Structure 1
């Protein structure tokens, strides 16, 4: 009888330890899924900022080309002007 109880205790403790390990693993999975979601959101935001910067540069170049065309500024004068604006 004592031997059966000892075996039952061993099995019960093994099951409890396995359950604890499973719960820890499940918590790790949830945390990693959350971190992956946050990383994806951060990457999308960063790409959107880069896109806005590129769009702004394209727009500025277009405006400057129009300004050069309209004002008839020489290229050397424009290079000096561009240097002071974009430094």
Structure 2
């Protein structure tokens, strides 16, 4: 379980974040398909959503839940272990 998300905005993007002891999530939606790729060098081009998840071990079904919720494939493009 996560506590309620905190919502905010900056320039042309909006974000929400929540954190528990087990997981932290940050969801960002940009108004265009180029902003997010300027933040992360390995980011695929043409995206307007970014979900950053931090955890010690990936929760079972997380990628499937994200794919089902967003209607898009999950692309892992960065990791602290990489």
Shorter-chain TM-score category? under 0.3
Higher RCO (Cα < 8 Å, 6 or more apart): 2
- TM-score, with structure 2 as normaliser: 0.21
Structure number with bigger Rg: 1
TM superposition score normalised by structure 1? 0.20
Q: Which has the higher strand share?
A: 2
Higher helix share: 1
